[in-house]
C-alpha cells in the first residue's frame, strides 16, 4: 500500500501542518503543532508517531520536520486532490463541491489510478480553482 493510502484525514492534516510550520532549519515544537491543529498534545503526538513510523516526518528534541520523502508525499497528495477535483468538476459539480468530493477519495486512490484519471482528462494543467496540477511522471516499471 502507498503511504497516502495508510493515512487518516487527521494524520494528513498533521503532515500538512508540519509542512507549513516547520522551516528548513527549524522543526515545529509539539505544543505549537497541537495548537495549530486544535487538538491536545497527546493527540498530536499520536499522529506524529504514525507519521514517523512511515518515515514521513523526523522528530528531534521534541521538534518535528518533514523528511524529503514526506515532502514528496505531500506533493503527491495535492496532485491526487486536484486530479480528482477536475474529474468531479467535469461531471458538473461546482469547484467547492468538487473539492469536497475529492476529499472523500484523494487519500484512497493509488498513484496509478490518479495517472489513469489524469490521462482520461487529457492531462489538465490546473484544477477547477485554477491551481496548478503537476504533470504525470514518466511511466514506471518499464510498462
Chain positions contacting Zn ion, by CB under 5 A:
85, 118, 123, 127, 129, 131, 136
Give whichever of 20 and 96 is closer to Zn ion, judged by the CB atom: 96
CB of residue 60 vs Zn ion: minimum separation in angstroms?
34
Angle of helix 111-120 relative to helix 68-90, nearest 10 degrees, comes to 40
Give whichever of 12 and 118 is closer to Zn ion, judged by the CB atom: 118
Give whichever of 91 and 131 is closer to Zn ion, judged by the CB atom: 131
In 3-state terms the chain splits into helix, strand, coil percentages (rounded to 5) of: 55, 10, 35
CB of residue 88 vs Zn ion: minimum separation in angstroms?
10
Cell 480553482 sits at which residue?
Answer: 129
Cα distance between residue 143 and residue 138, in whole Å: 10
The CA angle 45-110-72, to the nearest 5 degrees, is 55
CB of residue 65 vs Zn ion: minimum separation in angstroms?
26
Beta-strand ranges (E) seen in 54-111 are 57-60, 63-66
CB of residue 95 vs Zn ion: minimum separation in angstroms?
7
Give whichever of 29 and 95 is closer to Zn ion, judged by the CB atom: 95
Amino acid at each position: 500500500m502507498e503511504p497516502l493510502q495508510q493515512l487518516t484525514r487527521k494524520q494528513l492534516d498533521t503532515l500538512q501542518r508540519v509542512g507549513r510550520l516547520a522551516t528548513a532549519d527549524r522543526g515545529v515544537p509539539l505544543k505549537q503543532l497541537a495548537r495549530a491543529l486544535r487538538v491536545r498534545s497527546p493527540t498530536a503526538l499520536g499522529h506524529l508517531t504514525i507519521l514517523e513510523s512511515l518515515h514521513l516526518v523526523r522528530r528531534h528534541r521534541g521538534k518535528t520536520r518533514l523528511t524529503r520523502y514526506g515532502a514528496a508525499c505531500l506533493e503527491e497528495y495535492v496532485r491526487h486532490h486536484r486530479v480528482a477535483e477536475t474529474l468531479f468538476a467535469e461531471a458538473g459539480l461546482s469547484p467547492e463541491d468538487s473539492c469536497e468530493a475529492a476529499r472523500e477519495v484523494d487519500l484512497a486512490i493509488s498513484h496509478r489510478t490518479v495517472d489513469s484519471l489524469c490521462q482520461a482528462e487529457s492531462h489538465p494543467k490546473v484544477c477547477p480553482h485554477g491551481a496548478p496540477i503537476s504533470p504525470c511522471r514518466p511511466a514506471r516499471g518499464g510498462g
